[in-house]
Amino acid sequence: MSQNKNNSTTMIWGAVALGALGVLGTYATAGLERFWANWVLWFVLMFTLGLGSLFIVALEHLVSAKWSVPVRRIPERIATLLLPAIPVGLFALCALPVLYPGSRPEAAHHPILAGKAFWLSLPFFSVRTLIALGLCTLGLAVLVGGSLKQDITKDPRFNLRARKFAPAFMAIFALVITLVAFDWISGLTPEWYSDIFGVYVFAGAFLSGLAATTLSLLYLQDRGRLEGVRGDHLYNLGGFLFAFTVFWSYIGFAQYMLMWYANLPDEVIYYKVRLAGSWRAITISLAVLHFILPFFALVTRDSKKDPKRLRRVAYLMLGAHVLDMYWLIFPVLGGQPHFSWPELSFALFFLGGIVLWIRGAMQKGEDMPIGDPFLREGLEFRL
């Protein structure tokens, strides 16, 4: 087992190194727009995955859930992805003059963007990003740092502090996910606007956090860890995956339907691009992968606690989240979808780095929050 782990780690490091060479090559030969589109894509993916996992942690404290206490350490560990996402996001600010029309001086003379010129300007965009990253760091320090400290101190007062902080974090989360949605994604086409776009991005972030939590739980169980976590715990995770698959689909369809019905030129252009040429096939694939397949895979009761099926659906949901962000971001490059060695290089570099970070996090500290006074009650949970 140890030899296999060492071999897989070596292979992942090799993929990261190969991807890094490709990333450098993209910067040198493929053009700045393509380089920054890939960089922004993977920043948003890392950030939403970490933020969605931190939302799971805060939600548990907010509702005082007991069943999820034995598995809470998993989303806590995944949420630490926000730490490497910080330098990635700061570097991504260099993409603003290249990809974001609202950050350019000529935006002040654009008939639509002139009224948004201050909001979309490079200085204010950067300030909002710094605030969002700082607020996420605060959430990590309170919810994850406090939980790890409780393993040592066994202080039950942390649960009270976390429950009091959770409502404030929900307000922080709403602000941050809205900034990510409207600044980093919608800001690529600032003439377009949707009232529920932030909710759409929230649904994808929460789903990605649930999928990563499910995969990590199964990974630890395969290695004889997390003793006491049973099918009933898996069932609840499967139920959340099923429910928010439907929620994501509802929000996505509602946004499209309202714009199709209104048929306003500044709204339908967003979907006109994504329903033309090869983008149409990606749009259909997104509907199939992000809704139809996971919906029917998890529609029965038994499927929600079947480890093999949950593993497949979790992988599918993470892949669908990548495709979703690609579908949202890459049309900024114009023309048909881009997918060749630059995109593969970025995928190797960032995916390898994410896997290495999460695997490293899974080795640190206890697998369960052993200082939490509700751990026993969580382990005794039955449906």
> Three-state SS across 288-343?
HHHHHHHHHHCCCCHHHHCHHHHHHHHHHHHHHHHHHHHHHHHHHHCCCCCCCHHH
Q: Which pLDDT tens digit goes with each residue over 273-306?
A: 999 989 999 999 999 999 999 999 999 999 999 9
Does 139 share its domain with 206? no
Does 209 share its domain with 331? yes
Q: Which pLDDT tens digit goes with each residue over 183-228?
A: 999 999 988 889 899 999 999 999 999 999 999 999 999 999 998 9
114 — pLDDT class (breaks 50, 70, 90):
confident
Residue 9: CB atoms within 10 Å: 14
CA distances from 13 to 24, 116, 212, 343 (A): 17, 44, 20, 18
Mean pLDDT of 217-242: 94
Does 255 share its domain with 271? yes
Residue 275 lies in a domain: yes
Helix (H/G/I), strand (E/B), else coil: 157: helix
108 — pLDDT class (breaks 50, 70, 90):
confident
Q: With 80 as the cut, is the pLDDT of residue 119 above it? A: yes
Which parts of the chain fold into alpha helices (H)?
2-25, 32-63, 73-79, 82-92, 96-99, 117-120, 122-139, 146-153, 157-179, 197-222, 231-262, 265-274, 278-287, 293-297, 307-329, 341-361, 375-379
Q: With 60 as the cut, is the pLDDT of residue 2 above it? A: no
Q: With 80 as the cut, is the pLDDT of residue 229 above it? A: yes
Cα distance between residue 259 and residue 3, in whole Å: 55
Mean pLDDT of 6-18: 90
Residue 25 lies in a domain: no
Residue 4 has a pLDDT of: 62
Residue 230's domain comprises 197-338
Residue 317 lies in a domain: yes
Task: Indicate the number of domains in the chain.
Answer: 2
Residue 345 lies in a domain: no
Q: Which pLDDT tens digit goes with each residue over 304-340?
A: 999 999 999 999 999 999 999 999 999 999 888 999 9
Mean pLDDT score across all residues of the chain: 93
Residue 19 lies in a domain: no
Residue 112 has a pLDDT of: 77
Ranges 9-23, 102-116, 191-205: which has the least confidence: 102-116
φ, ψ for residue 359, nearest 5 deg: -65, -40
Q: Tokens standing for 299?
A: 């529609």
Residue 15 lies in a domain: no
Residue 42 lies in a domain: no
Q: With 80 as the cut, is the pLDDT of residue 1 above it? A: no
Q: Which pLDDT tens digit goes with each residue over 82-94?
A: 999 999 999 999 9
- Concatenating the DSSP letter of every residue in 209-242 gives HHHHHHHHHHHHHHTT-STT--HHHHHHHHHHHH
Q: What is the DSSP letter of 365?
A: S
Does 274 share its domain with 368? no
pTM above 0.85, yes or no: yes
Residue 5 has a pLDDT of: 65
Residue 285 lies in a domain: yes
Residue 3 has a pLDDT of: 60
